[in-house]
C-alpha cells in the first residue's frame, strides 16, 4: 500500500505560480467619471484639509484606495474638491505645502497668519512664499481661490515698499481679526472695527488678482 501511495504521489505535479491567472481587479474597469462620483463622498472634508490631519487622511482614506489601484484618481479628487489650510511655522524657513506633483490639483487655498507671528521677518517669509505662488514657481497652476487669514494687526509691508502681489485666480479673500472683511465705507462709522477695516484695506491694496 505504501508503494502504491508513493507511486500515486509522483503523479501530482505542482502548479507553477507564474501560470496562476492574476486576480481580476474589476474596479479598474469602471470609467473614471463614475469612479469620481463614487469616491466624492469618501474624500470630501467640509472643514478642509489641515496639515495636522494629513497623515490621518492619508492612512485612513488614500492608502486603502491605493491598494485597489485608485491612488491617482483619489489624490486628484481629494485636492480638487477640498480647501487646503496652511500656516507658517515659527523658526523655520517657510511653510509646509504640497509639492507641484500634488498641488497641481488644488483649487482652494487658505493661508493663516497666526497671532504668534509678531515680527516682520516672519511676515516677510509668508509674503515671499505668496509671491512664489503668484509667479507659479512652486506650482499651484490650477488654483482658483486664495484666502489670507490675518489673526493679528500686522501691516502687509514696511513703509516705502508697496509693490503689489498679483495672482491669476478667480477669487481673493482677505480676513482680518475675527474674519473681518469689508470696504472702508462699510464700517468707518464703527470705531470698534475701524482698525481691522483699515488693515484690511491695506492688505487689499497689496494683494490683487488679474484675469488668467
Q: What is the pLDDT of residues 166-198, one digit of tens each?
A: 999 999 988 887 656 665 445 544 555 666 777
- Give residue 2's pLDDT: 47
- Give residue 155's pLDDT: 74
25 close to 69: Cβ distance less than 8 angstroms = yes
110 close to 149: Cβ distance less than 8 angstroms = yes
Give the integer Cα–Cα distance in Å for 17 and 50: 45
- Give residue 184's pLDDT: 45
* SS3 state at 204: helix
pLDDT single digits (tens) 109-164: 998 876 666 577 777 778 888 899 999 999 999 999 999 888 766 777 665 566 78
139 contact partners, CB below 8 Å, separation of at least 6: 98, 99, 100, 103, 104
Give the integer Cα–Cα distance in Å for 46 and 110: 14
- Give residue 62's pLDDT: 92
Q: How many CB atoms lie within 10 A of CB 28?
A: 10
pTM of the entire predicted model: 0.77
156 close to 203: Cβ distance less than 8 angstroms = yes
61 close to 74: Cβ distance less than 8 angstroms = yes
The percentage of residues in the chain with a pLDDT greater than 90, rounded to a whole number, is 32
Query: How many Å is the Cα radius of gyration of the chain?
Result: 27
Strand ranges, E, within the chain: 49-50, 83-86, 108-113, 145-150, 165-167, 171-176, 207-209
89 close to 95: Cβ distance less than 8 angstroms = yes
Residue 4 pLDDT exceeds 90: no
Q: How many CB atoms lie within 10 A of CB 174?
A: 20
- pLDDT, the chain, mean: 78
Give the integer Cα–Cα distance in Å for 147 and 180: 12
Largest CA distance in the chain: 107
Average pLDDT over residues 83-98: 74
86 close to 110: Cβ distance less than 8 angstroms = yes
Amino acid at each position: 500500500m505504501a508503494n502504491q501511495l508513493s507511486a500515486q504521489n509522483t503523479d501530482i505535479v505542482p502548479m507553477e505560480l507564474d501560470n496562476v491567472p492574476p486576480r481580476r481587479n474589476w474596479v479598474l474597469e469602471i470609467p473614471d467619471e463614475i469612479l469620481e462620483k463614487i469616491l466624492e463622498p469618501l474624500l470630501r472634508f467640509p472643514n478642509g484639509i489641515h496639515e495636522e490631519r494629513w497623515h490621518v487622511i492619508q492612512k485612513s482614506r488614500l492608502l486603502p484606495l491605493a491598494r485597489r489601484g485608485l491612488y491617482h484618481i483619489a489624490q486628484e479628487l481629494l485636492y480638487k474638491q477640498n480647501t487646503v489650510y496652511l500656516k507658517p511655522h515659527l523658526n523655520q524657513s517657510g511653510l509646509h505645502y504640497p509639492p507641484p506633483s500634488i498641488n497641481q490639483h488644488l483649487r482652494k487655498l487658505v493661508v493663516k497668519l497666526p497671532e504668534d507671528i509678531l515680527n516682520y521677518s516672519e511676515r516677510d517669509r509668508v509674503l515671499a512664499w505668496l509671491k512664489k505662488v503668484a509667479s507659479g514657481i512652486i506650482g499651484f497652476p490650477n488654483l482658483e481661490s486664495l484666502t489670507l487669514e490675518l489673526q493679528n494687526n500686522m501691516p502687509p509691508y514696511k513703509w516705502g515698499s508697496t509693490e503689489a502681489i498679483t495672482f491669476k485666480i478667480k477669487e481673493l479673500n482677505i480676513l482680518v481679526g475675527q474674519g473681518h472683511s469689508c470696504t472702508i465705507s462699510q464700517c468707518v462709522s464703527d470705531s470698534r472695527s475701524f482698525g481691522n477695516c483699515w488693515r484690511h484695506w491695506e492688505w487689499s491694496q497689496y494683494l490683487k488678482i488679474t484675469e488668467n
